[in-house]
Amino acid sequence: MDRGRVTFDFTGAEIRGDLEGRNPPIFLPCLQTAASPLVAIDIGGTLIKLAYTASCGDGSELRFATFEKHRLDDCFEFIQAEGLVPSKDDFLNKLHVHLDKLHEFECLVSGANVMLKNIPGTAFTYMDGKMTTVDVSPNNLFPYLIVNIGTCVAMIKVTGNKTFEFVTTTNIGGAFVFGLAKLLTGCNSYDEFLQLCQKGDNSVLDLFVKDICGELISQKVCVFIVPIV
């Protein structure tokens, strides 16, 4: 294994638990328990994201966890409790644990490619409250577009295993929406914000065709012809 590079065998891998739940683990039957669990950490502008391996009897699981950025100490306590590193001080001082800095978007593209090629249920549609998985052929995967919604939003065109290019970016992302939500609702945490989203009704604020043209007009198909000068 090269420094900073880990090779997984994804044969028989599957998503376990509730597919519609938050952060369901990925079962890896061909990954045996390592002496030291593997952990990756991404400290973003709004959230801290963790991916780590853990033993689960007949194999291993790739598990995920998130923390708000201001809860950095809670994140370190979680890492210590899970036995991912010997202690919080060791992690902070880079002792007894090897840390490698990797390019964020290279990791994002590589991870998306691996998931789409090897993990059933990775691709799905969500319409009218119903989730439907989509079969993706590894031989017909490219090109596709990643819309990475983080503190900012980045759109990335992926044309190969290690080939991608930025299409566009915007500053309106998770941090902007969370800040707006705090001003409008008074919520104090990102988790509370997500819970409010599940209970909310966007029709209270969104402007629909019927609001402009009336209820009867909105039920008909309107065709607007724009002259080309």
SS (H, E, C) 9-37: CCCCCEECCCCCCCCCCEEECCCCCCCCC
Burial grade of 49 (CB within 10 A; 0-12, 13-18, 19 or more): middle
Residue 203 near residue 193, CB atoms below 8 Å: no
Q: Return the bridge partners of 61, or none.
A: 27, 54
| 68: annotated active-site residue | no
Q: Which of 20, 77, 104, 106 is catalytic?
A: 104
User: Which structure tokens are listed for 146?
Assistant: 């990643």
Element (H, E) at 51: strand 47-55
Interatomic CA distance for residues 17 and 27, integer angstroms: 10
- How many helices (H) and strands (E) the chain has is answered by 7, 10
Q: How far is CA 41 from CA 66, 91, 125, 166, in A?
A: 10, 11, 28, 23
Catalytic residues: 104
